[in-house]
A and B are shown apart, each in its own frame.
Chain A
């Protein structure tokens, strides 16, 4: 098979121009662990790093010696060397509240924060998490308290959501439809607006039928309050989007050597190229290898059959079967990766072998970091 370029992660984290690393990929491929391990490694190589995660796994917090992660960056104790590492977990409601509080006078802020629509929007709107993750990323970047920010992306139903969601939420809060809802009366007069106004009757009618009149009313109140505070939701989304395109950003697509994850990684790589986002490379986690790869699976199976037929060396034949299984698995994983490599031959790849144990402490994270760098 073709050999892809090697992904040199140390070069990326050591480069002072790298200011943001985004770890993306489908769910369950080890994005968060990768992000945390890279953060620790960067800190131990002298960077002042912060890891922003959206994964509420307690285990991860504990592996960094923190009882839990919250919306404030916490210093990780036990980092060796000159650098430092902070870790935090995105609290999307808290982040949203803070934006409101920062931009509204107390009375208006109260109006917004107590609106039932706001409460739903801020805690369960599909896309709010993605939007707030990007917002938080922007905040951390502007604060300039860290020279490297490592963020993992929300466990969206599809990894691609996170690129679209900020746009979508921004468009929603900023859009013409919302304005229409807010002030149908204002839309009279000119002909284009007449059409919209006629449309509004149908829209409002349909929405009232579907959701009930109260929802529409709550929504209108909410939107007018929010709009008066800052109309630039979309502008903010665009700003974060540009931040991601900037040269100081590195996207890492994370996958496991499984068909779905690899397929998703391919989509993501293509999408990042379309959006002109700077892709650093692909990290394939949980790759199975064998320390005894000189012995092929086929030979191993044949030998096991031979021993079994002779009724000798029961233990050896069991070990040979185990080894054959392992080689078969490794071969399949290799094939899955080849799909990616043939389609994207220029994308650098780093492979991390499957570990027999989960990560529980800084030592474990350090080990993952070593494996990431040792390509």
Chain B
């Protein structure tokens, strides 16, 4: 066990959701690294068949098996699993009915595909079921195999339906093993062992979706987690300058002097032209910063822990991922 206190001690299943384009998979991957740091064993799960994890870690496509994909800072291992609903169903048939061979035969004539598509929520139960099993799995020593599981979940618009399997399935399967399986999943996802985190940008639509998603989550009795504000640009300019620029009151004259002092322009008129172009850039930046401030305020209203992750100018490569993991740790999310 780790010595540090984090905001999510006791949480073993971290569900990560977010609007498309917010960097959900990246944040899930960085969170897994951060949780593993210091010697823990963490499983990172993806469910949408997009092979997002392998892309983020720059690996060949992942098979349907748990395998080690990264080593965390100060020891600790990240394992990954790309869940394939069809494989999960075969495994399920074997586990509960010893039907693996029959299952293979059924696959051949397209019946597994059929069964995983006909019943809404059925796919979801298989996937969340597999995840819940990993959360609860114990080794021979009686201890949990994974210290934490991070689930790269479907986007915000689908998250409650995805997790709320009991409701989804109950309408169709009133009895039977799928119902029991769904109940098991429900036991994990609605317990304090689970937290559902949201990834957002400081933009109107993702913020609105985050707030709506949180409300929906609460209404469904699912445990809300933190808000990860992704791709935050640090503001290099003092507030007074930003304020002036936002109101188009920024005076390029001083800037022109500075540019000249830095030897960036040859004659006086060129300095003024560049200074004016830069002023336009500053004004745009200031307006955006203002908008971001409003979105930040809106997020504060949700009263959930918030973490800010920097925009990486060169995009997210492996070292960028470790940088984000470090930032997550520093802020106490892991």
Contact = CB atoms under 8 A, between A and B. Distances in A.
A259 B26 CA distance: 12
A165 to B, nearest CB: 10
A177 interface: yes
B321 to A, nearest CB: 13
A329 B313 contact: yes
B315 interface: yes
A158 B48 contact: yes
A319 B282 contact: yes
Interface stretch (B33-41, B74-82, B104-112, B220-228): B104-112
A143 interface: no
Contacts of B187: none
A357 B236 CA distance: 20
A182 interface: no
Contacts of B281: 290-292, 322-323, 326
Contact of B102 (A57, A202, A317): A202
Contacts, number: 204
A347 interface: no
Interface in A197-239: 199, 202-203, 206-215, 218-219
Given A172-B118, A328-B313, A211 B237 contact: no
Contact of A124 (B161, B258, B284, B311): B161
B175 interface: yes
A27 B264 contact: no
Contacts of B111: 177, 203, 206
Given A212-B179, A215-B119, A315 B254 contact: yes
B313 A218 contact: no
B37 to A, nearest CB: 25
Tell me the interface secondary structure of chain B in the complex.
helix
Contacts of B278: 291-292, 295, 319, 323
A214 B122 CA distance: 15
Contact of A206 (B93, B173, B179): B93
Interface string A117-129: 1011100111100
Contacts of A209: 97, 176-177
B71 interface: no
Contacts of A127: 117
A321 interface: yes
Contacts of B138: none
| Central interface residue in A202, A211, A294, by most chain B CB within 10 Å | A211
A306 interface: yes
Contacts of B93: 206, 210
A367 interface: no
Which of B157, B161, B284 has the most chain A CB within a 10 Å cutoff? B284
Interface string B131-166: 000000000000000000000001101000100000
A250 interface: no
Interface string A313-325: 1011111111101
B114 A177 contact: yes
A299 B161 contact: no
A358 interface: yes
B155 A27 contact: yes
B176 A319 contact: no
B177 A172 contact: no
B106 A206 contact: yes
A42 B282 CA distance: 34
A33 B109 CA distance: 43
Contacts of B311: 329
A323 B262 CA distance: 15
Contacts of B208: 57, 59
A122 to B, nearest CB: 10
Contacts of A313: 254, 257-258, 261-262
A319 B237 contact: yes
B203 A358 contact: yes
Which 9 interchain pairs have the tightest Cβ spacing?
A: A27-B20, A28-B21, A316-B258, A212-B176, A313-B258, A292-B277, A28-B20, A303-B262, A356-B287
23 contacts: A27-B19, A28-B22, A120-B171, A120-B172, A125-B117, A157-B48, A206-B102, A211-B176, A212-B178, A215-B173, A292-B277, A303-B264, A306-B263, A315-B258, A316-B259, A316-B261, A318-B241, A319-B282, A322-B236, A322-B281, A326-B285, A332-B315, A357-B287
Given A316-B262, A318-B237, A321-B236, 8 more contacts: A57-B208, A120-B172, A158-B50, A206-B106, A294-B274, A315-B238, A318-B238, A319-B282
